[in-house]
Amino acid sequence: MTPPFLPFALPEIGEAEIAEVVDTLRSGWITTGPKARRFEADFTAFLGEPSLQSIAVNSATAGLHLALEALGIGAGDEVVTTTHTFTATAEVVRYLGADVKLVDIDPATLCIDLAQAEAAITPRTRAIVPVHYGGLAVDMTAVLALARRHGLKVVEDAAHALPSTHGGRLVGSFASDATVFSFYATKTMTTGEGGMLVTRDAALAERARVMRLHGISRDAFDRFTAKVPSWAYEIVAPGFKYNLTDIAAAIGIHQLQRARGFQQRRAEIAAQYDAAFAGLPLVTPPQPAAGDVHSWHLYAIRLADEAGITRDRFIEALFERGIGCSVHYIPLHLHPYWRERYGLRPEDFPHSQHAYERLVSLPIYTRMGDGDVQRVIDAVRAVLKG
């Protein structure tokens, strides 16, 4: 009997999430309302910094767009980020008519190489967007120092990084201009689709709240009247439709309560993989500094050249054994849009290119039992020894 297919990722939705969604559906208020506000308050409490504001949005992509828009990024500006990411990190810069400066990764962390980021800065550079790849926090002390030296804004793409720490501080609580989390179905916690923009900048928060919902401002109306009637609002900008529904927030409230437990289970699986793969012809993922938390959104191995099998064939062989894998990422410099827009060549990004050709993301999620983990371990061993 062959066991059922083990997918690459699965969300873990419990009875509490389901009951909260049902409560929302019965309540009569299903779009942005009390549950979204509660989710935002809970998120700020989770980060443990009352000076932060959390703004719920319908995707991390939306949150990144809103953050850069609120910072005034536009035509003629440049934003530096890594080629080794999902296109959402960079596409939002293009929404605003600004240009993306892609740089290579540090092969030791698979995160942006800060020396190269610094070398890519020009008089037009306005911001840097570090990505906490796989859930390993970028050295934010170094990012913030670099940003201060060059007068740059910092927007963290923390789509993978709940909860992750650097120097004992949670990602989201650093002195960046904004940090954006994703609650997409495969992320460390989910609302189906959703995201959270976190900032300690009151003006950024206000602009993002207005632009999240059509550029509607009730406060603007307030300037002219003592009391704002319930029907009253003013449009102050051509905003977007990026609000999170209460149906989604209902899921998020309970996922957030379980986020630390989810991380512990993921860390357990990562430790089992680390131990089992020692001695095999592969590079296990970079570890966090002692005492730091890795969210383990991804467990991405790199096949060694001695493995004697191509990355693509390795993924096929695992698939034949009923195991789903993925690749994070096909770097941006290989995609036609980015390649052609900026004339990018693989040799400009040797570390990202080298990693890409060898990277395999193995299943790592809370619904995997010990038997599932063992199946992956056995399959990896069999394929690399066969």
Ligand X SMILES: *Cc1c(COP(=O)(O)O)cnc(C)c1O
Of the candidates 20, 78, 113, 157, which one interacts with ligand X according to CB under 6 A?
Answer: 157
Q: Which CB, 126 or 160, lies closer to ligand X? A: 160
User: Segment near ligand X (CB under 6 A), from 58-66, 136-144, 228-236, 343-351?
Assistant: 58-66
CB 68 within 8 A of CB 89: no
**What is the identity of the amino acid at 164?**
S
Report the distance separating Cα 377 and Cα 303, nearest Å: 14
Instruction: Please identify which residue in 55, 60, 103, 105 interacts with ligand X, judged by CB under 6 A.
Output: 60
Query: Which residues partner with 213 through β-bridges?
Result: 241
Interface with ligand X by CB under 6 A: which range of 66-74, 154-162, 167-175, 370-378? 154-162
- By C-beta, is 134 or 288 nearer to ligand X? 134
Tokens of 285: 């993922």
Is residue 314 within 8 Å of 383, Cβ to Cβ? yes
CA distances from 366 to 110, 284, 312, 385 (A): 24, 20, 26, 28
**Is 177 an interacting residue with respect to ligand X (CB under 6 A)?**
no
Cis amide bond preceding 337, omega within 30? no
Confirm or reject binding of residue 11 to ligand X (CB under 6 A): no
Least distance from ligand X to the Cβ atom of residue 210, Å? 20
Q: How far apart are the C-alpha atoms of 210 and 235, rounded to whole Å? A: 9
By the rule CB under 6 A, 245 interacts with ligand X: no
Under the binding rule (CB under 6 A), the answer on residue 131 touching ligand X is: yes
Residue 38-57 contact track with ligand X, rule CB under 6 A, x = bound: --------------------
Q: How far is the CB of 383 from ligand X (least distance, A)?
A: 26
Q: How far apart are CA 266 and CA 258, in angstroms?
A: 12
Q: Which two tokens stand for residue 208?
A: 């993002």
Distance of CA 321 to the CA centre of its chain: 30
Of 67, 80, 159, 269, the residue at the interface with ligand X (CB under 6 A) is 159
The reply on whether position 59 binds ligand X by CB under 6 A is yes
Total chain residues near ligand X (CB under 6 A): 14
Nearer of residues 39 and 184 to ligand X, judged by Cβ: 184
Quick check: 299 binds ligand X (CB under 6 A)? no
* 44-65 CB burial, b ≥16 within 10 A, e <16: bebbeeeebbbbbbbbbbbbbb
- Dig out the tokens for 127 from the structure: 């911001």
Q: Quick one: 195 or 285, whose CB is closer to ligand X?
A: 195
Is 153 an annotated catalytic residue?
no
Token code pair at residue 339? 């390649």
Give the one residue of 11, 195, 239, 285 binding ligand X; rule: CB under 6 A: 195
Which residues are part of the catalytic machinery?
187
Binding stretches for ligand X (CB under 6 A):
59-61, 85-86, 88-89, 131, 157, 159-160, 182, 184, 195
